[in-house]
Each structure stands twice: as structure tokens, then as C-alpha cells.
Amino acid sequence: MVELNKKQQQIVDVLTEKDALEPCPRCKKSDFSVQNYYCPLLTHEEPLDIQVTGKVAKVIPTAIVVCGNCGYIMLHNLMPLGLLPKEKNGQNTNDLTTEKQEN
């Protein structure tokens, strides 16, 4: 059995608490691994924003869970999981999931 570090164990604990451990939606197996890194999910309002202007509407920090059988990747928003740090370097990390102001 693979040893989980603190970050991975926190994610497993919260997903267990929230009853989010259903089998893989693609292959129906229950062989998952929680990755030891997060994924900043970039969102944009218009289809070509990122390619043309680099404009990002929101960044959603997510935990990554991968199916060990078929490789299907599931992303869980850290905000409802309660896994976002309150503040870092004086900046409220809630800003990560709110729309950026245009200057």
C-alpha cells in the first residue's frame, strides 16, 4: 500500500467525510490515487480568450484524483472541501476563485 503524505491524507479524509468515494464514472473500478500536487483550473468567458489575449476569468485550485485502472482524472475544487489556506502573504486566497477585476 502506498503511503500518503499529509496533504494527500487531508484530501482523502475530506472526500471520505463528504461521501465522495463512488467508483470511477468511466470504468466503475475503485482504484484511485490522490496526487501530491494541485491543479490550477483556468477558466475563461470567451472561447479564444486564453489563446488570443491570455485573459483568464477565474482560477479554481483543485485536488487531483486519478483512476488507477483507466486513468480518468477527477478534479475537486479546494474551496468547498475547506482545504484552501485562509491567507498567504497577506492576500486572501478566496480571491483565487473570484473574478479578476479588469484594469
Please report how close the Cβ of residue 66 comes to Zn ion at its closest, in angstroms.
9
Binding site for Zn ion (CB under 5 A): 24, 26-27, 67, 69-70, 72
Name which of 41 and 70 has its Cβ closer to Zn ion: 70
Please report how close the Cβ of residue 61 comes to Zn ion at its closest, in angstroms.
24
Distance CA 31, CA 11 (A): 16
φ/ψ region of 49 (left if φ > 0, alpha if ψ in -120 to 50, else beta) reads alpha
Name which of 32 and 38 has its Cβ closer to Zn ion: 32
Please report how close the Cβ of residue 30 comes to Zn ion at its closest, in angstroms.
9
Name which of 63 and 67 has its Cβ closer to Zn ion: 67
φ/ψ region of 90 (left if φ > 0, alpha if ψ in -120 to 50, else beta) reads left
Using CA atoms, how far residue 52 sits from 33, 41, 44, 76, in Å, is 35, 18, 12, 28
